[in-house]
Structure 1
Amino acid sequence: MSRTDPKQSDTAAQLDRLVAQASAAGLWERAWPVLWRGLGVVLAFLAVSWLGLWLDLPATWRIVGLVAFAAALVAVLAPLVRLRRADRRAALARIRAI
C-alpha cells in the first residue's frame, strides 16, 4: 500500500496556488496597459459630452462622432482578445525570479 505524504500533498497544493496567482498576475500585467488605453477613450468621450460639443453638431455628425469613438474603443481593446494566461512553465519562472 502506498500512502501519500500529507506534507507533500499540502506543498503541491500550495505550489499550485502560487502558480495560479503568478499566472493571474502576469495576465493582469499584460492586460492593464490595454485597459488603460480603453479608459482613455472613454474619458475622451465623456469630456466631449460634458463640454457639450455634441450639441453644436448636426445629427449626422453626432452619429459619426459616436461611431468614431466606438470604433476607437473597439480598436484599442482588441488586443485583449489575444491575451492568454501564462503556462505553468512561465508562472514557475516568475515565482523563481522572486
Structure 2
Amino acid sequence: MSDADAPTTRLTAWVHGLVQGVGFRWKTRTKALELGLVGFASNYPDGRVLVVAEGSEDATAALQAWLRSGDTPGRVDQVVDSVTGPRGDYTGFETR
C-alpha cells in the first residue's frame, strides 16, 4: 500500500438490533470492499455487531451512513460509533 492509499480514518461502530443471522456481516464486508476499506465485522454474544473500518474519510463516512440507512440486512436499531485515526492493522476486510 502506498502512502497515498494509506488509511486516514478509523470507524469503530457498535451496531444494535436484529443484525445477527441475517447476512449483516457479509453485506457489510461487501460494502466495505466496494468502498476500498479494510477492517472487520464481528458478532458479539449480546447480539451486537462490531464494525471496524479504516480508509479514506469519504469511504468511512459512506459506510457510517450506510449502517444507519435502513438498507442493511436485518434491522438496525442503533449505531454507536466513533471516528479516530487509523492504526494500520488490516490488509483486507474480514467477517469474524
Q: Fold conserved (TM > 0.5)?
A: no
Q: Which one has a larger percent helix, Structure 1 or Structure 2?
A: 1
Which has the higher relative contact order, 1 or 2, with Cα contacts under 8 A spaced 6 or more apart? 1
TM interval, short-chain normalised: under 0.3
